[in-house]
Amino acid sequence: MRTRGGQANTGTGMNAGGLGMRPLRFVAVIGVAYAALLLPVRQAHAWGPDAHRTIALIADKVLQQSDAAARGKVQALLATDKDTRLTKNDIASEATWADVLRDKSQEARIASSNWHAVRLRADSPELAAACYGRPPLPSGYPASRGPRNNCVVDKIEQFQKELQNPDTMPGERLAALQFLLNLVGDVNDPLLAIDKGDQGGQCTAVQIGGKPPVRLSTYWQTTLVGEVVGRDPAAGAARLLSSVSPADMQSWAAGNPESWAMESYQVAKTVTYAFPADSAAEKAA
């Protein structure tokens, strides 16, 4: 494991059966929610379950304020999830569904692990290369059963199209929403947007002050999220949303999966991995 000393930088048109809103707008709403959580820690998180839950609650509040009808249809679609073996069917729990599925099922782990990241080379951030050449979804395949070699940017686009298509089967429509609630967070995750050869920060440790070294991924995933959100995700969501200005809301909603991926890559280079290197403490795993 590579250990680096120093203080981390932690500043602060669908049919009636669909969501009743353009899928891209719904994705943008989730993106706004992630940006709200990113702001207090200068956009440098990796996303664990607490972050995903909090962001889903922020997205729910944004919909409540801006499009109550769409919020109702999101809730109605999630209510069709009767399988509680992985998660409950409230929006906060469903935001972790794709991660729980991947972690508890070997088949799902093999099939979907690549869908959560866009590993842009640190010295050459070419989206096509990080997205396996950007192959289209094979004809007749639902996005949830697509090839394993797809990146998070392309999977978001595929699931968006399924929500837009009135012919999408009900079960696949639910899966599309479940994946989107999670993947829009992942495309905003700096540790999933760069290939540093350290398994997304798992093989790099950071030492904060005189504390024992911890994995970089754990520091962003657990420590910083806990500091920002607190112990109550609902209260944390309300507090974070109250700090977002209308101008910020409009700016963040203008993004798209490709631009979010590139922004996450830049954050990874300039913030997440921008702590001072201590060559005497650096060790290979």
Instruction: Name the pTM for this structure.
Output: 0.85
Q: What is the predicted pLDDT for the residue at 28?
A: 62
Phi-psi region for residue 209, left (φ > 0), alpha (ψ -120 to 50) or beta? Answer: left
Please tell me the distance from the alpha carbon of residue 224 to that of residue 244, in angstroms, as a whole number. Answer: 19
Please tell me the distance from the alpha carbon of residue 73 to that of residue 29, in angstroms, as a whole number. Answer: 15
The CATH homologous superfamily of the domain defined by 2-272 = P1 Nuclease (1.10.575.10)
Residues of the chain where predicted confidence (pLDDT) is lower than 50 = 1-25, 39-46, 279-285
Q: What is the predicted pLDDT for the residue at 26?
A: 56
Please tell me the distance from the alpha carbon of residue 215 to that of residue 232, in angstroms, as a whole number. Answer: 24
Please tell me the distance from the alpha carbon of residue 245 to that of residue 36, in angstroms, as a whole number. Answer: 10
Q: What is the predicted pLDDT for the residue at 45?
A: 40
